[in-house]
Amino acid sequence: MTEFKEDRLFDARGLLCPMPVVKTAKEMKTLQAGQVLKVLATDRGAIADFPAWSEDTGNPLLHSAEESGSLVFWFRKGGREGA
Amino acid sequence: MLNEAIVESPSFAEADVRRIVREEIERAARQDRAASKACIIASKGTLDWAYPPFILGAAAAAAGMDTSIFFTFYGLNLITKGYSKRIQVSPTGNPAMPMPVPMADLFAGLPGMKTVATSMMKSKFKNRGVVSIQELIDACRESGVRLIACEMTVAVFGFRHSDFIEGVEFAGAGAYLSEARRAHVTLFI
């Protein structure tokens, strides 16, 4: 299985639309460009919402998977590294 | 050095054209500021209709959009102090609202039915883990969504500026249109 070393983990399990995206966006603000945020979610809407959010915000979705009942997403914080 | 065989192959040309077109569209989208601007009108003040403007407002802000919600008519109530505690939904005139037993409109309008319908809907949302209206309002404010009250209806319904939650701005149709014409996302809810 593909694994990415995350710099921070955000647990959005149990949250429903729009909160997974709203809180992930807030969490992403605390990261530096190039760092990786791993997000756990249970809202099935996240399957469509996170790729769209990733594209809109320029934080690339590196990988997504389903692990023991949770959806897992890895995002890389966009922007210039060190900026 | 380009391999001529590859350059001449139709698949190369097609892939190349697709890539160039995609890059150009993306470049144009990045320069198009209207693509990252959302203007929503919230005109209703019931529990059910309070959700869409705040959900979309919070999601738009999370997606990096410059977002404003204009509150007019009954929607004004949504941004008055303490309203999320008083907010209700009525089964009257709403045949699509699920009720525990089939009910004629006449009964749906009986005293107390609004309270029953409101607590039913609130517990349904809560049991599913949907956030409350207050939490959505907080998420919107925290993420910089502008909350704007329509000055004319504020006056018509006898509200005072002090009735509104902190941070609410006041404006009119002209201000809304000036914002909306610069936004690709405009919604009337």
Of A10-24, B115-129, B155-169, the one with minimum mean pLDDT is B115-129
Across the range B108-133, mean pLDDT stands at 88
**Per annotation, catalytic residue among A17, A22, A47, A65:** A17
Kindly report, residue by residue over A20-73, the tens digit of the pLDDT: 999 999 999 999 999 999 999 999 999 999 999 999 899 999 999 999 899 999
Most confident of B21-25, B113-117, B154-158: B154-158
| A-proximal residues of B, 111-130, CB under 8 Å | 128-130
Supply the mean pLDDT for chain B: 88
Question: How far A1 CA lies from chain B's nearest CA (Å)?
Answer: 29
Q: Which residues pair with residue B71 across a beta bridge?
A: B42, B149
Q: Which of A19, A23, A53, A57 should one mutate to test binding to chain B, selecting the residue with the greatest count of B CBs within 10 A?
A: A19
Q: Please tell me the predicted confidence (pLDDT) of residue A15.
A: 93
pLDDT band at B3 (very low <50, low <70, confident <90, very high): low
Chain A residues contacting B via beta carbons under 8 Å: 14-19, 21-22, 24-26, 49, 52-53, 56-57
Class of CATH domain A8-76 = alpha beta
pLDDT band at B141 (very low <50, low <70, confident <90, very high): very high
Domain boundaries in chain A?
Answer: 8-76
d(CA A37, CA A59) in angstroms, rounded, equals 10
Torsion of CA B32, B34, B36, B42, to 10 degrees: -170
Using a 10 angstrom Cβ sphere, with 0-12 exposed, 13-18 middle and 19 or more buried, the burial of residue B69 is buried
Chain-chain contact of A19 with B63 (C-beta, under 8 angstroms): no
Q: Of the candidates A19, A24, A52, which has its C-beta nearest B131's C-beta?
A: A19
Chain-chain contact of B63 with A18 (C-beta, under 8 angstroms): no
Chain-chain contact of A16 with B130 (C-beta, under 8 angstroms): yes
Chain-chain contact of B63 with A22 (C-beta, under 8 angstroms): no
* Residue B30 in this model has a pLDDT that exceeds 80: no
* Residue B92 in this model has a pLDDT that exceeds 50: yes
ipTM over 0.90 threshold: no
Q: Please tell me the predicted confidence (pLDDT) of residue B181.
A: 93
pLDDT band at B29 (very low <50, low <70, confident <90, very high): confident
Across the range B124-130, mean pLDDT stands at 90
Interface contact B34, partner A, CB < 8 A? no
Say whether A17 is catalytic.
yes
Q: What pTM was computed for the model?
A: 0.82
* Residue B17 in this model has a pLDDT that exceeds 70: yes
d(CA A62, CA B171) in angstroms, rounded, equals 43
pLDDT band at B10 (very low <50, low <70, confident <90, very high): low
Q: Please tell me the predicted confidence (pLDDT) of residue B25.
A: 82
